[in-house]
Amino acid sequence: MTDEYGLEVVEKEKVQYIVVSIGNEQYGLDISYVDNIVRMCKITRVPKAPFHYIGIINLRGEVVPLMSLRRKMKLDDDEFTDLSRIIILKTEEMGLIGVVVDEVKEVIALSEDEIDENAKTQSPEKDNFISGIGKNEGELISILEISSIFDEVDNA
């Protein structure tokens, strides 16, 4: 590959993440999985559903299940504020799924060497969902592993 293309290659290696906050931590979601970000709307509870599913919502005529990352990661239960948003994720296998976050901050681009894949926290439950820790302007961002969020292994 020539120098001429060198710049482009570096560009390609950068992955864009949407930075959200849950509690006092920041998480990064790979933007290629994100279909949409919507405001909180009326949630319909689904009886007997797995614990980490809060319910279902109406996303422009589609019924979309809504998951609580807080419940999945065994944090305190959600408190919905004006800043709370639903991020609609799109996957091949599961279709659309919404996840609730406390706040959507920004979109950043991180290259692979800006993400420390070995950094681990003390909590094994959380580690299951995190593929690495990214650093952006002094802030630490936990990169969420989208596929593990949808793992049907119920940790709750």
Partner 1 sequence: MDVSQYLDIFIDETNGHIQELSDNIMLLEKEPENKDCVNEIFRAAHSLKGMAGTMGFKKMQHLTHDMENVFSEVRNDNIKVNSTLIDILFQCLDAIEAYLETVKATSGEGDEANEHLIKMLNDFLEGGDGSADAAPAESAASEETAEAEASGEGFEYENLKLDEDELEKIKKTESSGAKMYGFTVHIQKDCMLKAARAFLVYKAVEDFGDILIYNPSSEDIEDEKFDLTFNMIVVTESELQPMLDAISAVSEIEKVDAGEVTSATYTKPAEEKKEEETAPAPAEKSAEEKKETPAPAKAPAAKGGKNAPANKPVTARTVRVDIEKLDALMNQVSELIIAKNSLVSISDQDTSSDENQQTFHEQIEYLERITTTLHESVMKVRMVPIENTVAKFPRMIRDLSRKLNKPMELYMTGEDTELDRTVVDQIGDPLQHLLRNSADHGIEDPETRRAAGKPETGSITLNAFQEGNNVIIEVKDDGAGLDIEKIRAKAVERGLVTEEQAENLSKKEVIDFLFNPGFSMAKKVTDISGRGVGLDVVKSNIESLGGDVEVKSVFGQGTTFVVRLPLTLAIIQALMVEVRDEKYAIALGSIQNIENIPVSEIKYVQAEEVIHLRGMVIPLIRLDELLDSTPKEEEPESLTVVVVRKGDSYAGVVVDNLIGQQEIVIKSLGKCIDNNKIINGATILGDGEVALIIDVNAIF
Site for partner 1 in 107-146 (CB under 8 A): none
Closer Cβ to partner 1, 58 or 123, answer by number: 58
Query: Taking CB under 8 A as the rule, does residue 63 contact partner 1?
Result: yes
Minimum distance from CB of 60 to partner 1 (Å)?
9
Query: Taking CB under 8 A as the rule, does residue 23 contact partner 1?
Result: no
DSSP, residue by residue, the chain = --HHHHHHHHHHH-EEEEEEEETTEEEEEEGGGEEEEEE----B--TT--TTEEEEEEETTEEEEEEEHHHHTT-SPP---TT-EEEEEEETTTEEEEEEESEEEEEEEE-GGGEESS---S-HHHHTTEEEEEEETTEEEEEE-HHHHT------
Query: Taking CB under 8 A as the rule, does residue 47 contact partner 1?
Result: yes
Contact letters (x/-) for partner 1, 74-93, by CB under 8 A? -------------------x
Minimum distance from CB of 73 to partner 1 (Å)?
17
Query: Taking CB under 8 A as the rule, does residue 96 contact partner 1?
Result: yes
Of the residues 64, 108, 110, 146, which one makes contact with partner 1 according to CB under 8 A: 64
Query: Taking CB under 8 A as the rule, does residue 15 contact partner 1?
Result: no
Beta bridge partners of 22: 25
